[in-house]
Chain A
Amino acid sequence: MLQAILVSGVAMGAIFALIGVTYNVMFAASRVMSFTAGQLGMLGGVLGSLFILRVGVPVLPGMLLALGGCALIGLATEIIAVRPVLKALDQHLYVLSTLAFALMLRQFTAIEWSTEPQPFPTLIGLGGGFIDEKFWLPVAACAVTIIGLEFLYRRTLVGRAFVAISEDNFAARALGLPERNLRMLSFALAGAIGGLAGFAGGELMLAFFENGSVLNFYGFVPVALGGLGSNRGAIIGGLLLGVFQQAANFLVGGLFVSVATFVVFILFLLLRPQGLFGTGTARRV
Chain B
Amino acid sequence: MLGYGALLAAAVLLPFVADNYWSSIATRAAVYWVLVSGLNLIVGFAGQLAIGYVSILTVGAYAFCILPAKLNADVPLAVLGSILFGAVSGVIVGLPALRLRTFYFAMATLGFATIVTQVALAWTDVTGGGIGLPAPELPWPFDTSLGFYVLCMAVAAFCTWMTANLGSSRFGRAMVAIRDAEVAAEAMGVDKKRLFISIFIFAGALAGLSGALFSSLQSYITPDAFTFDLSLLFFIGVLIGGRGSIMGPLLGTIILTVLPEIAAPLVAWSTFLYAVLLLAIVLLLPGGIAALLDRTNRKALTSGRSITPDLSRLSALLAGAGNAADIRLSGVRLSFGGVHAIDGLDLLIQRGEVHGLIGPNGSGKTTTLNAICGFGHPQEGSVTMGGAPLVMGKTTLRARAGIARTFQTPRIVGEATVLANVMLGGDVSGRATFVEAALNLGRNRADERRLRARAEEALTAVGLGGLGDVRADRLQHSELRFLEIARALMLSPSFLLVDEPAAGLSPEEIHRLGALISAIARAGVGVLLVEHHADLIFDICQRVTVLNLGRELAAGTPADIRAHQGVISAYLGG
Contact = CB atoms under 8 A, between A and B. Distances in A.
Contact of A111 (B49, B119, B121, B268): B268
A90 B228 CA distance: 25
Interface string A108-125: 100100000000000000
B99 interface: yes
A223 to B, nearest CB: 9
Contacts of A265: 111
B114 interface: yes
Nearest to B98: A270
Contacts of A111: 268-269, 272
B239 interface: yes
A263 interface: yes
A277 interface: no
A147 interface: no
B434 interface: no
Interface in B257-308: 268-269, 271-272, 274-276, 278-279, 282-283, 286
Contact of B101 (A88, A217, A266, A273): A273
Contacts of B232: 103
Nearest to B110: A217
B282 A93 contact: yes
A92 interface: yes
Interface in B101-126: 101-104, 106-108, 110-112, 114-115, 118-119, 121-122
B47 A92 contact: yes
Contacts of A103: 232, 271-272, 274-275, 278
A245 B119 CA distance: 17
A285 B49 contact: no
Which of the four size classes fits the interface of chain B? 35 or more
B566 interface: no
Which of the four size classes fits the interface of chain A? 35 or more
Nearest to B336: A283
Given A95-B49, A107-B271, A217-B110, A273 B104 contact: yes
Interface stretch (A41-49, A190-198, A252-260): A252-260
A84 interface: yes
B47 A217 contact: no
Given A107-B269, A258-B115, A262-B115, A97 B282 contact: yes
A107 B278 CA distance: 14
Nearest to A275: B104
Contacts of B104: 224, 269, 273
A224 B286 CA distance: 29
A248 interface: no
Nearest to B123: A255
Contacts of A266: 96, 108, 111-112
Contacts of B286: 88, 90, 93
A96 B282 contact: yes
A57 B103 CA distance: 39
A144 interface: no
Most buried by B among A97, A217, A263, A269: A269
A95 B236 CA distance: 12
Nearest to B284: A84
A99 interface: yes
B278 A96 contact: yes
Given A259-B119, A266-B112, 6 more contacts: A97-B279, A104-B276, A107-B272, A220-B107, A224-B104, A262-B114
25 contacts: A80-B283, A88-B286, A91-B102, A92-B102, A99-B275, A100-B279, A101-B279, A103-B232, A103-B271, A104-B279, A107-B269, A107-B271, A107-B275, A111-B268, A217-B111, A220-B107, A255-B118, A256-B122, A263-B115, A266-B111, A266-B112, A270-B99, A270-B100, A273-B104, A283-B336
Q: Which 4 A-B pairs have the closest CB atoms?
A: A103-B275, A100-B279, A107-B272, A262-B111
Interface of A: 33, 80-81, 84-85, 88, 90-93, 95-97, 99-101, 103-104, 107-108, 111, 213, 217, 220, 224, 255-256, 258-259, 262-263, 265-266, 269-270, 273, 283-285
